[in-house]
Amino acid sequence: MAKQSPFARKQTIRRVLHYLKGHTFPLILSLLLAVVTVTLTLYVPVLVGKAIDCIESEGNVDFSAITRILLTVGISVGVTSLAQWVMSILHNKIAYHVVRDIRNQAITRIEHLPLAYLDAKPTGDTVSRMISDVDQFADGLLMGFTQLFTGVLTILGTLFFMLSIHPGITLVVLFMTPLSLFVAAFITKRTYSLFQAQASLRAEQTALINETVTNQRIVQAFGHEKQTLSDFDDVNDRLADTACRATFFSSLTNPCTRFVNALVYAAVGMTGAIAAVNGRISVGELSCFLSYANQYTKPFNEISGVLTELQNALACADRMFELIDTPAEIPDAENAAVLSEAKGDVSFDDISFSYVPERPLIEHCSIDIHSGQRVAIVGPTGCGKTTLINLIMRFYDVSGGAIRIDGEDIRDVTRHSLRGNIGMVLQETWLRRATVRDNIRMGMPDATDEQVIAAAKAAHADSFIRRLPQGYDTVISDKNGALSQGQRQLLCIARLMLCLPPMLILDEATSSIDTRTELKIQSAFQEMMRGRTSFIVAHRLSTIREADVILVMRGGKIIEQGDHASLLAADGFYAQLYRSQFAGNG
């Protein structure tokens, strides 16, 4: 992973601070409580020093003064504890509200990302950014709130109290301060890039696990277990190596800063003892100074640890912001029209498209399709059949030319209205976790139960639905094994039968259905397609004989066009495809 520049890191910090703008009052209150906490914490050693000075010699102890001092110490400690408790509540509230805002912004962006991004990025990587990276960011932010505020205030407050007691000994402490700063800077510089690489590798591992678990049947079916384990071992080893190095450098924080603390404490002890022997400070003030020396160096421990965690948090935040900053799908034009009820005239006007600029797929393709025509699209795998469908639906935009429906460039109409006029049944099924009834009426939420049942009957799904445990009220999803692939596809067909939009797209719509049911479905499709512009993508050429127009694609281009009989008579590429499927039949 490329190392992030200091400027980019500052930009990340500015963006994090931007999320805190909406929490100004809790931040100010937290800062005031931090001041109270630090002030009272630093005041206690002064009180303890005064109590020690009240013990002048054996038999000469001012017990009344000591009692008052101890009572004040108790009140100070009680108030400090209460302030720290309220601070903890405020910090948690701020941190988790910021995380909530970031996740909301991220999920909103995901909803508007173009398919090109989703196709290029593994799902596990996106999931890792949304969950693991945001959790790591929250932990770092929470630690920063909890310890960074109080740490800085403790250092400043300690210096003030020490200067008020003895400026000379304070200078000894200040002289050794750069050593603590050097140690902290040395560690944090080396941890950021390592934590950034760790976050990236964690996402890669999550993506691999997600892909493996989701497709475990395929892994086992193809005997790919050893290769999958090998791939996992590789990313796991790389993650372990990076994590160990990151942990090694971050774990240097505690012993290094403790060593510096011991040096400062020893220096203060020596100079303070000399000053006490010479009568420049009292024994109580020496005790107070030693306590301050310890408290002064302790925040450097905490701040060094916080800075290490903040490096991890910023690395995770940077990955999160990268997702949020990904350009969204091109929005509808400001004056985009609403396609109310399409007639179904479709024209491809010299369109060109490629997923990758250096590898053209569709070039200068022109077709005119009239309302009500049944258009079949055939050709070998990778020729651009499904791409053509994706362009009609505006899942992708053409890079050249225009696709027009009823004379309107589809880029000049809203996506919602365009897709509302087109019904799709694909080889892949789209079911959500809901009842069978709700899945069927997904595209028509206000449909009555009678309409849902009629659509299920038209799709020949009613019989198996009634055999389910709760019939139409059975809760299903696309992942559980309650339904076979064919049954899931029948539900998707029933969904289309219910809506009956003016244009249809059937992409291998009956690929998972048995032959007997397919014949019935094909009959229902013929009735449904009457008067509707329909695009049929099929590998089995027997299913498209009745199409009005057959488009034969090869290498992204329409190489032949006509009906079944004329294409066979032309004895071209379509005829070769047809004969290859029916070589043994007559």
pLDDT at 586: 40
Of 163, 186, 187, 164, residue with least CA distance to 173: 163
The CB density around residue 336, as the number of other CB atoms within 10 Å, is 18
- Beta strands at 557-562 and 400-405: parallel, antiparallel or unpaired: unpaired
How far is Cα 259 from Cα 183, in angstroms, rounded to an integer?
Answer: 10
Choosing from 500, 526, 547, the residue where a domain stops is 500
Task: Please name the residues in contact with 398: beta carbons below 8 A apart, sequence gap of 6 or more.
Answer: 351, 352, 353, 391
pLDDT at 266: 81
Give me the residues paired with residue 536 across strands.
Answer: 376, 506
pLDDT in tens, 129-147: 888 888 888 877 776 766 7
How far is Cα 228 from Cα 272, in angstroms, rounded to an integer?
Answer: 65
pLDDT in tens, 23-42: 888 888 888 888 888 888 88
Residues of the chain with pLDDT under 50: 1-2, 584-586
- Specify whether 22 is located in the same domain as 137: yes
How far is Cα 271 from Cα 274, in angstroms, rounded to an integer?
Answer: 5
Whether residue 210 is contained in a domain is answered as yes
- Specify whether 439 is located in the same domain as 316: no
The CATH number for 264's domain is 1.20.1560.10
Q: CA angle at residue 513 from 511 to 519, to 5 degrees?
A: 100
Whether residue 250 is contained in a domain is answered as yes
pLDDT at 481: 63
Q: CA angle at residue 25 from 24 to 30, to 5 degrees?
A: 100
Whether residue 146 is contained in a domain is answered as yes
- Specify whether 285 is located in the same domain as 141: yes
Whether residue 329 is contained in a domain is answered as no
Question: H/E/C letters for each residue in 442-464?
Answer: CCCCCCCHHHHHHHHHHCCCHHH
Choosing from 469, 500, 531, the residue where a domain stops is 500
- Reported as half-sphere exposure (CB side, CA atoms, 13 A), residue 317 has a value of 28
Q: What is the DSSP string of 76-122?
A: HHHHHHHHHHHHHHHHHHHHHHHHHHHHHHHHHHHHT--HHHHHHS-
Choosing from 296, 324, 352, the residue where a domain stops is 324
CB 323 within 8 A of CB 106: yes
Q: How many domains does one find in the chain? A: 2
- Specify whether 73 is located in the same domain as 204: yes
Tell me which DSSP letter residue 359 carries. B
How far is Cα 563 from Cα 569, in angstroms, rounded to an integer?
Answer: 10
- Specify whether 311 is located in the same domain as 439: no
pLDDT at 584: 47
Q: In the numeric block, which tokens belong to residue 169?
A: 């000994």
pLDDT at 2: 44
Q: What is the DSSP string of 143-212?
A: HIIIIIHHHHHHHHHHHHHHHHH-HHHHHHHHHHHHHHHHHHHHHHHHHHHHHHHHHHHHHHHHHHHHHH
Q: What does each C-alpha distance from 483 to 240, 469, 475, 489, 521 come to in angstroms?
A: 41, 12, 11, 10, 18
Whether residue 584 is contained in a domain is answered as no
Q: Where are the beta strands (DSSP E) in 201-355?
A: 346-353
How far is Cα 211 from Cα 214, in angstroms, rounded to an integer?
Answer: 5
Q: Where are the beta strands (DSSP E) in 220-354?
A: 346-353
Residue 505, phi then psi, degrees to nearest 5: -130, 120
For residues 83, 84, 89 and 93, what is the CA-based torsion angle, rounded to 10 degrees? Answer: 100
Task: Please name the residues in contact with 548: beta carbons below 8 A apart, sequence gap of 6 or more.
Answer: 373, 374, 375, 563
Task: Please name the residues in contact with 22: beta carbons below 8 A apart, sequence gap of 6 or more.
Answer: 97, 101
Whether residue 564 is contained in a domain is answered as no
Whether residue 346 is contained in a domain is answered as no
- Specify whether 316 is located in the same domain as 437: no
On the 0-12 / 13-18 / 19+ scale of CB atoms within 10 A, 284 is buried
Q: Which domain holds residue 492?
A: 431-500
Question: H/E/C letters for each residue in 479-521?
Answer: CCCCCCHHHHHHHHHHHHHHHCCCEEEEECCCCCCCHHHHHHH
The CATH number for 490's domain is 3.40.50.300
How far is Cα 471 from Cα 449, in angstroms, rounded to an integer?
Answer: 12
- Specify whether 319 is located in the same domain as 436: no
Whether residue 319 is contained in a domain is answered as yes
Q: In the numeric block, which tokens belong to residue 404?
A: 């027009």
How far is Cα 48 from Cα 251, in angstroms, rounded to an integer?
Answer: 34
